[in-house]
Amino acid sequence: MVCIAVVTVLSACAAPGAASGPEPDALSAARAETILDASADQAWQLVESRHPGLERPAVDRVRTVSHADWAPTQERCMTAEGFPQAKAMPDASLASGQVPAEQSEAFAVAEYTCGAEYPMAAKHQTAFNESQLEWLYRYSTGELTECLQDHGISVERGPSEQEFVDSDGAWSPYRSVDLPQSQYYELVTACPEIPDSIYG
């Protein structure tokens, strides 16, 4: 299965990105539709790979949701579809819960349906640009590192900003985290790995 600011340190009273906020690439309505359609196609391909022969349902999009709202929205939708065991997790993922074998196909269709009805907005499904990566580096090496250290985590030395940008943000202070799931969820709630503000 399974959260910035002169130079690299966030002052106690400054908002994340106050010095230089992230500037996501603008998406045209047509480009956003293309991204959402491709995402739905990929989701159904995954269903087909696990359950060959299923007929793809026609699904009308209700609305797009933010990264933070995605899992809670999916949980509500899955409950309405008859699968209350699907639960939103603190790390913004959705846990499937226990699904009886005889319900696996119905669960997969419901999961696809909910994802297509309430997809994550297109801006949350595109790669970070340089501005966003630079902002994420400042957050990761500043506020996030301090938060993890305040919670008793020893954070490994990170790469330089240029190395971080060149790797598309491959490094995270969370690489130093090795905790039981319940403690991890408490930590990620207190110290978000990627704040929603990165999306503008």
Q: What is the pLDDT of residues 54-67, one digit of tens each?
A: 999 999 999 999 99
| Secondary-structure breakdown of the chain: helix, strand, coil percentages, each rounded to the nearest 5 | 50, 5, 45
> Whole-model pTM?
0.80
The domain spans of the chain are: 29-125, 130-199
pLDDT at 150: 97
Contacts of 79 (CB under 8 A, 6+ apart): 86
* 114/50 Cα distance (integer angstroms): 18
Share the mean pLDDT of the chain: 90
pLDDT at 21: 87
Among candidates 62, 90, 89, which has minimal Cα distance to 77? 62
Give the mean model confidence (pLDDT) for residues 14-23: 61
Give the mean model confidence (pLDDT) for residues 144-166: 97
Q: What is the pLDDT of residues 45-57, one digit of tens each?
A: 999 999 999 999 9
Coil, strand or helix at 96: coil
pLDDT at 19: 54
Out of 3-12, 27-36, 97-106, 160-169, pick the least confident: 3-12
* 47/95 Cα distance (integer angstroms): 17
